[in-house]
Amino acid sequence: MSKQCIRDQIQQPSPVFILVAGLFCLLFLTTGFATDGKNSENSTPVQQGDYQGALDTVYPDWFKTSFLEIEEDIIEAREAGKRVMLVFHQPGCPYCNFFVERNLAQKDIESLVRSEFDAIEINMWGDREVTSVSGEEFTEKTFARQLKVQFTPTVLMFSKEGELALRINGYYPPDKFRAALDYVINDKNTQQSFTDYLASSGSGATANSNQVIARPVYISTDDFNTSDPITLVTEKTDKPYILLFEQKDCSNCELLHNTVLSASESRELLEKFDVVRVDMWGTDDITRRNGETVTGKELARQLQVSYAPTMILYAADHTEVIRSESWLKRFHTQSMLDYVQSDAWRHQPEFQRYLSERGDTIRESGQSVNILE
């Protein structure tokens, strides 16, 4: 046999060899990798947890069918005596469902929106082309990223002139949403902040109403109302911190404490923060990092806080990372805390993507995720 024939036989395995090797690989795969999802040979597979609380939403047929050329939409709305309302949403979002089925389903709210606005829905993960007012071209998802949409629904209401009149980051219940509509429709945005408007219209509590709820034991900070001035964090520390704005006679504040922050996982996460509670209508002195002394009411106005409760989460270097200024449940709130304390925000700037990734990780451990708890 020639050397070339020997080389050919070495380089080209025989059919018998291929069959035997294939059977060996199959046996290896079925015995070696069949333990995927098991901790050991004798353990049982980890069953993936359920994902609960997602709700599908059908948007009203009276929403405008738009080519998503925003400047053209504003011009068309103005010619009809209306304004533009952009509604950013995502599939399965329960708060988007509440916006449609609890807010827009109420006759007075529907009538106001239909008569005063051209409402346009935008999927924050969608691929339709969008042209901004400045003429820049995006997809829906890059447009949402450009506008830093972190919660859904995010609602942008424009004036007839095309200026942004009010931005709502998250779900407002019907009464608060009615106030937002009135604020924009009557051009109050040109006269005062939304926070001041709520106070003057009676939609917000005042400093003279009943006392705020007692300080929770799981937040180690000064009393909510104190005769001593509060000094906010003035230098870089090892811990991130939270400014928690509340008000008196606030049922949503009580819900936040009683059903969300009091949960064991929330308490563990809160221990990694310094927490300062601020009365958003208060008159006690607060010293800001720059040495300025302000009241709680003035601080709320400076930071554009108009909803109680609002949580503003800062990194230890004073970077504002994210804020919650709408109605949120336990999973979303805990995810915000984890997003900041873990420094995940530094490599994942989109909170909704982080939220999805965190949910998947929890489910892979066998626990269920309920976004409505």
User: Structural domain boundaries of the chain?
Assistant: 1-45, 70-191, 230-342
Residue closest to 264 by CA, chosen among 332, 221, 210, 218: 218
The 10s digit of each residue's pLDDT in 1-18 is 443 433 343 344 444 333
The contacts of residue 310 (CB under 8 Å, 6+ apart) are: 244, 245, 280, 323, 324, 325
175: confidence class by pLDDT, cuts 50, 70, 90: very high
Lowest mean pLDDT among 7-21, 114-128, 155-169: 7-21
Least confident of 172-186, 282-296, 306-320: 282-296
Separation CA 335–CA 34 (nearest Å): 33
| Choice among 39-48, 123-132, 214-223, 294-303 with the minimum mean pLDDT | 214-223
Q: Is the pLDDT of residue 214 over 90?
A: no
242 vs 244: CA distance, rounded Å? 6
Q: Which two tokens stand for residue 8?
A: 């050919």
Assess contact for 49 and 368: CB atoms under 8 A.
Answer: yes
What's the whole-number mean pLDDT along residues 138-156? 97
- Examine domains 70-191 and 230-342 and report if their fold is the same: yes
Q: What is the mean pLDDT of residues 300-318?
A: 91
Distances (CA, A) of 293 to 233, 284, 290, 318: 13, 10, 9, 18
Instruction: Tell me the C-alpha distance between 260 and 256, whole Å.
Output: 5
- Mean pLDDT within 135-162: 97
Residue 297 has pLDDT above 80, yes or no: yes
CA gap 83, 118 in Å, rounded: 6
Average pLDDT rounded to a whole number, residues 203-213: 45
CATH 3.40.30.10 fits 230-342, yes or no: yes
Domain spanning 70-191, CATH architecture? 3-Layer(aba) Sandwich (3.40)
Alpha-carbon radius of gyration of the chain:
27
Residue range 152-175: mean pLDDT, rounded: 96
